[in-house]
Chains A and B, each alone.
Chain A
Amino acid sequence: MPLHPNAKPKLAVWKFASCDGCQLSLLDCEDDLLAITDAIQIAYFPEATRAVIKGPYEISLVEGSITTPHDAERIHKIRRVSKVLITIGACATSGGIQALKNFKDVNKFIDIVYANPQYIDSLQNSTGIADHVKVDFELRGCPINKNALVEVCNAYLNRRKPNIPTYSVCMECKRRGNICVMVRNGTTCLGPVTQAGCDAICPAYNRGCYSCFGPSEDANAKAFSIHLEETGISRENLIRLYRGFNANAEEFKNESIFYEQK
């Protein structure tokens, strides 16, 4: 129920370290956006409008990862003004592509990149929102699927569980009628250990899955790596494979560190 029974529930969209792509998915909803604004009041969304309606907010969509001490504090303030907090995208869920820095000394990067490193205040690790505050729902993807975003909002408004699968990409891939690129072409594909949600778009175009949606439920990345090793994938390529958009997701992080130390 809305905080104020006669008003539409208020939605806020927050940005942390990210590329804005997931927020744009909300604007990409086009026709659905009108239906969304019929049901929800967009109260805070700097990407779309400078007009700000004060909180608290029924739904907060959080994009991006925590990479600075300032952001690590800011997320707590957002949690306090939000009834339901939903993270959107790989950054907010697992730390994103910028979590690649977690595997090296961040100060060395700062020295190389910035002329005046003294102005930079960056945390050693890029982490997902759930590492800092309680998260009510995580919507995966790099970027998220706009239909999934509508579905999550819809589920919230109708007080039901969102229809967001947690099984592997292979299920969607087979339903779509794709031919397995791993079995047919020997293309390395992370689909078997990746959560569905993209309708297996890369295998549909003969590419292996890059795991934009991160590890699937019970992802047995260990077994998967062993198989890939047996088929001749090098240690270096295995490390690269897991160090993508979800490098900091537990199952993938463990694998890439294992092969780095091997």
Chain B
Amino acid sequence: MKIEKNKKYLLSKENISSLVQILQKQKFKTIAPVVKDETILYDEIQSIDELPIGMTDVHKAGSYSLKKRKDKALFGYNVGPQSCKKFLFPPKLTLLQTKKIDGKVTVIKSSDPVEKLALIGIKPCELSAILVQDKIFIEGDYVDSYYKQQRDNLFIVTTNCTETAYSCFCDSMKTGPEATKGFDLAVTELIDGKNHRFVIKTGSAAGVKVLSNIEGIALAPDDALALEEAKISSAKNKMGRSISTENLKELLLDNLNHPYWAEIQERCVSCGNCTMVCPTCFCSDILDETSLSGEDSKRTRLWDSCFSKDYSYIHGGVVRASIKSRYRQWLTHKFASWVDQFDTFGCVGCGRCIVWCPVGIDVTEEINAIEQDVEKMKPVEVEA
């Protein structure tokens, strides 16, 4: 049958397996979640047998563990410790290497090469984070060439969420549990007793082309579509965390001197983990290294964090000298000034900053606490 864009088809587990093979035939390196290092993280797979079949991840603030599922779901996980950020915006990227040849500085290597990558089984929050980073790296006035090249060589198979974790709040951020844009293919896994099916939606011409290679597929029947809708809406109603985004920007920017920021400083260790695991944090540092002789030099881009003092060091000193000011900078950037800068929130509600904070600081609790406190302090209008 002729595959069309923005249509939903029904796939079997074997079809998902063929999908991976087809992508590999098209010279894509197939990346998907796997069980590794006692976590579920992204790695190259050769077949769907390497997916975390029947496994899921359990979160709390500052805690992560794996658990066996009752079923054999392929995509029954939530979000792992590492986001897809590392593929498009690597933690360490060589930008340039030079050598002095006959007294002249000569470039011997420019930026690291990109690869054709197919990201399989990434969650809608993860996909949304890529769309947020697109705005930063390629949609502005200054295009990051490495990001652009890698982005142009990306194929995305997202998986809609039918379950959620303690730390999830994508519904608040409007980034999930169902992916609405930015994917080539979007899969919803449906397990109904022994009936293991997948509804797959085409989102791009590339997605249509890949799916056209699978023989014998048909449009998703109504019962599958109804089950899909029910499962996604059940996930939507089971968000572990939530915040109100209405007037959030104003709430935060109007309360920059709220005493609560000092209270957070009593708990925050300023280690920078939240920014490292955040799928949208995009700050980097440029490191120049030279050999002792001065003959060789190397320029590297490294993930940086607004939680380090050096980050805000300018002539005369550090701008954000206190932990309080650094935490406030991070949180207000994500939920307020990011909106002015990029016309979107800088948070996708994946909850990684909550799970991977070594002291378990929960960004949603902090925002809610400020909101409730401000609400309490509001003058009550009394009728005369």
Contacts and interface: CB of A to CB of B under 8 A. Distances in A.
- Whether A associates with B in a native complex is yes
Interface in B139-185: none
Contacts of A218: 270, 309, 322-323
B65 A184 contact: yes
Taking chain B's interface residues, is the majority helix, strand, or loop, or is none over half, making it mixed?
loop
Nearest to A147: B289
Interface stretch (B114-122, B227-235, B250-258, B353-361): B353-361
B292 A150 contact: yes
B355 A175 contact: no
B81 interface: yes
Interface in B309-367: 309-310, 322-323, 355-360
Interface stretch (B7-15, B300-308, B374-382): B300-308
Contacts of B38: 179, 184-185
B309 A174 contact: no
B296 to A, nearest CB: 10
Contacts of B269: 168, 192-193, 219-220, 223-224
A170 B307 CA distance: 11
Interface string A194-237: 00000000000000000000001111101110110000000000
A157 B292 CA distance: 8
Interface stretch (B194-202, B214-222, B272-280): B272-280
B37 interface: yes
A135 interface: no
A216 B270 CA distance: 10
A174 B303 contact: yes
A158 interface: yes
Interface string A148-165: 001101100110000101
A210 to B, nearest CB: 16
Contacts of B41: 179
Nearest to B273: A170
B271 A191 contact: yes
Interface in A97-140: none
Contacts of B308: 165-167, 171, 217
Contacts of A192: 269, 271, 273, 358-359
B167 to A, nearest CB: 11
A246 B342 CA distance: 44
A36 to B, nearest CB: 6
B358 A167 contact: no
Interface residues of B, number: 47
B310 to A, nearest CB: 7
A163 B289 contact: yes
Given A154-B292, A179-B38, A223-B266, A171 B272 contact: yes
Contacts of B310: 165-167
Contacts of B302: 175
Contacts of A157: 292
A238 interface: no
B190 interface: no
Nearest to B359: A227
A167 B41 CA distance: 26
A177 B11 CA distance: 34
A174 B292 contact: no
A197 to B, nearest CB: 13
A96 B143 CA distance: 48
Contacts of A153: 292
A190 to B, nearest CB: 10
A225 B11 CA distance: 52
B62 A182 contact: yes
B105 interface: no
B276 A183 contact: no
Contacts of B287: 163
B267 interface: yes
Contacts of B92: 175
A171 B276 CA distance: 7
Contacts of A185: 38
Determine which residue in A32, A39, A170, A179 has the highest number of CB atoms from chain B within 10 A of its CB, and name it: A170
Interface of B: 37-39, 41, 62-65, 81-82, 86, 91-92, 265-273, 276-277, 287-294, 302-303, 305, 307-310, 322-323, 355-360
Given A158-B290, A174-B91, 16 more contacts: A38-B292, A39-B292, A154-B290, A163-B287, A166-B310, A168-B270, A174-B272, A175-B91, A180-B64, A184-B37, A184-B38, A184-B81, A186-B63, A192-B359, A220-B269, A220-B270
Interface of A: 32, 35-36, 38-39, 150-151, 153-154, 157-158, 163, 165-168, 170-171, 174-177, 179-180, 182-186, 189, 191-193, 216-220, 222-224, 226-227
13 contacts: A36-B292, A167-B309, A168-B270, A170-B276, A170-B358, A174-B91, A174-B273, A174-B276, A179-B39, A183-B81, A220-B323, A223-B268, A224-B359
